[in-house]
């Protein structure tokens, strides 16, 4: 099938997302792909009626619930934009298929597995090689500060302050936040910067210029996991970010504080981590609630 030309209204919608909501380039690309894919099925989106939209249910029947939800969200926002701009008088998005799925829980990495990763990385770092010191710094910032993979590999030198244990992170949508760095992470980062060499604007530069790629970061973590005796499929930058959040909650961190540290725009995104602390919460009720005390007496 010949790919249809992008509709002017779609480009206007994407421009609005970029200008008013600060949508990141990856987000805009995903919206463009989803809208173009829908247009290939039902024709011009701006002219589509409820009957056309309903056809998507059949075309998308094999999609994973998360993919279906994402595509439906893109169209729903697009038609909302058309209404706001007076380009349509009706909203056909109510005919979109609705996924029946709960949000998946993050894959968990326990304290013992994290300890095995650090034991291996610290042994590499103790050898004083640039590769070993870099890996230890990467691991410290992934697990110790909860950075996203993209935030970590694209971290500029300017984001590392000289006199404060914080990093200035530019997250999704270009939103900046301050992320605390532990004393051990500060040392690992300083050790790496001492052997990194001069030149370049990124903390983790690539030999070919620019910064370390996300793909290379994944590869380095998989290799570390293998050498630590773990299944490489269970370890990734995102899993370590989940471990950071999970273990902070286990230690008693406030959900709002965690939202700030992770750079979540919506507290609902952070609340997915509350399931991991269920055992501690039950124990807390049993130990501290008056009825719990009466039952245990």
Tell me what percent of the chain is helix, strand and coil, each rounded to the nearest 5.
65, 5, 30
Measure CA of the first residue to CA of the last residue in the chain; give whole Å: 73
Strand partners, 179: 167
Largest CA distance in the chain: 74
Q: Tell me how far the alpha carbon of residue 90 is from its chain's centroid.
A: 34
Q: Is the dihedral of CA 41, 44, 46, 49 positive or negative?
A: negative
* Sign of the dihedral defined by the CA atoms of residues 82, 87, 89, 93, in that order: negative
Which sequence positions are flagged as catalytic? 148, 172, 238, 241, 264, 273
Cα–Cα dist 151/263, whole Å? 11
DSSP string, 109-129: --HHHHHHHHHHHHHHHHTT-
CB atoms within 10 A of CB 160: 17
d(CA 240, CA 151): 14
Reduce the DSSP state of residue 156 to 3 states and report it. strand
């Amino acid at each position: 099938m010949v790919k249809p030309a992008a509709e002017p209204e779609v480009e206007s919608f994407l421009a609005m997302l970029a200008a008013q909501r600060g949508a990141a380039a990856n987000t805009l690309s995903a919206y463009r792909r989803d809208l173009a894919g829908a247009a290939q099925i039902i024709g011009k989106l701006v002219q589509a009626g409820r009957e056309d939209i309903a056809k998507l249910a059949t075309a998308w029947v094999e999609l994973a619930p998360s993919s279906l939800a994402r595509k439906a969200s893109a169209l729903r926002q697009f038609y909302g934009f058309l209404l706001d701009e007076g380009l349509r008088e009706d909203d056909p998005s109510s005919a979109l298929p609705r996924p029946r799925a709960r949000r998946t829980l993050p894959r968990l990495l326990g304290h013992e597995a994290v300890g095995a990763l650090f034991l291996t990385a610290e042994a590499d770092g103790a050898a004083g090689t640039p590769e070993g010191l870099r890996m230890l710094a990467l691991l410290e910032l992934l697990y110790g500060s909860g950075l996203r993979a993209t935030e970590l590999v694209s971290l500029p030198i300017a984001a590392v302050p000289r006199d404060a244990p914080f990093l200035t992170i530019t997250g999704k949508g270009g939103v900046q936040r301050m992320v605390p760095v532990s004393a051990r992470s500060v040392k690992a980062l300083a050790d790496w910067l001492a052997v990194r060499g001069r030149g370049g604007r990124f903390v983790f530069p690539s030999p070919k210029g620019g910064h370390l790629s996300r793909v290379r970061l994944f590869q380095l973590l998989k290799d570390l996991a293998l050498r630590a005796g773990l299944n490489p499929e269970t370890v990734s930058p995102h899993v370590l970010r989940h471990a950071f959040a999970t273990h902070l909650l286990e230690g008693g961190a406030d959900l709002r504080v965690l939202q700030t540290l992770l750079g979540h725009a919506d507290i609902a995104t952070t609340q997915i981590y509350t399931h991991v602390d269920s055992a501690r919460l039950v124990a807390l009720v049993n130990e501290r609630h008056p009825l719990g005390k009466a039952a245990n007496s």
